[in-house]
């Protein structure tokens, strides 16, 4: 019986493909999901918003910012307050966001559109966590109450005068300790930039 000559082609992986620092999240870029992505919405940043808006920010969602029976611009999107939060903005399909030499993070301002997910959509959104609270997130379970800090624009496990509670249905999905990208905002200069190597938490809306 004849033998079959077998000489497979050499298969290799690119060097450093699986280093730990290739893992991590990017604030405001939703984890891919074939179901929740169908609930992605777009709205118009309200005229009351005086600062830039980017992905991964808690927002208050109101009815159409137009005449009655006219929702062509979508819902009116304002920043979350200590009394109202309805979802989070994302960078997904945010084609009209702008970048400038001083701001390497895509942003929208009042009158521009912004993409967002409401609570209940089950979208998994990466968010920055409050400074010094990584151990708090690492020691809690997925059902622990979560809060959004409306002043520091980050997720926290502690209630304060600047926070608003997230719905009980919102759960903690995953944590990355030091390999994620989050957004930094300088209120004085207006600069919006990326911070690399930051802790990040993913929540299920």
Rounded Cα gap, residues 30 and 151, in angstroms: 23
Q: Which of the two residues, 56 and 187, has the higher pLDDT score?
A: 56
Does 26 have pLDDT greater than 60?
Answer: yes
User: Taking all residues of the chain, what is their mean pLDDT, rounded to a whole number?
Assistant: 85
CB 174 within 8 A of CB 137: no
Please report the pLDDT score of residue 92 as a whole number. 92
Look-up of token digits 């990466």: 126
pLDDT score of 95: 82
| Alpha carbons 150 and 162: distance in angstroms, whole number | 6
**Per-residue pLDDT at 184 exceeds 60:** yes
Model-level pTM?
0.85
> Which carries the bigger pLDDT value, residue 93 or residue 141?
93
Q: What is the mean pLDDT of residues 174-190?
A: 89
Res 100: pLDDT: 80
Answer whether residue 75 shows pLDDT above 90.
no
Task: Measure the CA–CA gap between 172 and 145, rounded to whole angstroms.
Answer: 9
Which residues make Cβ contacts (< 8 Å) with residue 115, sequence separation at least 6?
Answer: 40, 41, 42, 55, 89, 90, 91, 92, 93, 94
Q: CA dihedral defined by 136, 193, 125, 70, rounded to 10 degrees?
A: 130
**Residue written as token pair 């009394």:** 83
Q: Which residue has the higher pLDDT, 15 or 156?
A: 156
**% of the chain with per-residue pLDDT over 90:** 52
């Amino acid at each position: 019986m004849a033998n079959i000559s077998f000489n497979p082609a050499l298969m290799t992986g690119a060097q450093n493909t699986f280093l730990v620092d290739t893992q991590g999240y990017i604030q405001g870029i939703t984890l891919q999901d074939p179901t929740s992505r169908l609930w992605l919405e777009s709205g118009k940043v309200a005229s009351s918003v005086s600062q830039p808006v980017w992905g991964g920010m808690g927002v208050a969602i109101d009815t159409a910012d137009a005449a009655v029976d006219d929702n062509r611009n979508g819902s009116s999107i304002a920043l979350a307050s200590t009394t109202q939060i309805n979802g989070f903005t994302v960078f997904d399909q945010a084609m009209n966001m702008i970048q400038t030499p001083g701001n390497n993070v895509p942003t929208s301002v009042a009158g521009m559109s912004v993409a967002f997910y409401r609570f209940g959509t089950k979208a998994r959104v990466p968010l920055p966590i409050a400074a010094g609270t990584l151990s708090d997130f690492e020691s809690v379970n997925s059902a622990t109450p979560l809060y959004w800090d409306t002043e520091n624009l980050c997720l926290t496990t502690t209630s304060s005068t600047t926070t608003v509670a997230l719905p009980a249905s919102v759960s903690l999905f995953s944590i990355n300790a030091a390999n994620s990208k989050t957004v930094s905002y300088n209120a004085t200069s207006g600069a919006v930039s990326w911070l690399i190597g930051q802790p990040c938490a993913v929540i299920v809306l």
